[in-house]
């Protein structure tokens, strides 16, 4: 069963944060090897508040095998209480674009 059409993992980083550790965190979050699956972490730069530069890290999962494995992995990390909380917050986590938003702190 297809659980998601597309998953986009986005991380925002300030100049004083270590890019290498952020990339490592994204890699650890994946239940498969990005290199083997030929997926890349794209980096772009933007202006944040007060014109401070921020780096945006992004990985897009578009294949069903990737999205399913990723969602199953994330769900396995959540307690039943966490899952109940998410279900209770569905209205505030689904945007007008019908995307589901979840913030993960590692």
Rounded to an integer, what distance in angstroms lies between the CA atom of residue 77 and that of residue 55? 27
Q: What angle do CA 101, 70, 106 make, to 5 degrees?
A: 65
Q: Pairing between strand 7-13 and 42-47? A: unpaired
Of the two residues 15 and 48, the one the predictor is more confident about is: 15
Rounded to an integer, what distance in angstroms lies between the CA atom of residue 68 and that of residue 31? 10
Quote the pLDDT of residue 51. Answer: 85
pLDDT confidence bin for 106, thresholds 50/70/90: low
- Give the residue-averaged pLDDT of 71-90: 93
Quote the pLDDT of residue 59. Answer: 97
């Amino acid at each position: 069963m297809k659980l998601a059409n597309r998953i986009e993992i986005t991380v925002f980083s300030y100049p004083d944060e270590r890019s290498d550790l952020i990339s490592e965190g994204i890699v650890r979050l994946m239940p498969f090897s990005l290199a083997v699956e030929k997926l890349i972490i794209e980096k772009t730069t933007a202006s944040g508040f007060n014109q401070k530069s921020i780096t945006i890290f992004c990985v897009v999962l578009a294949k069903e095998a990737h999205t399913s494995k990723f969602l199953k992995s994330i769900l396995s990390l959540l307690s039943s209480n966490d899952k109940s909380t998410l279900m209770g917050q569905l209205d505030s986590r689904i945007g007008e674009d019908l995307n589901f938003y979840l913030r993960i702190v590692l």
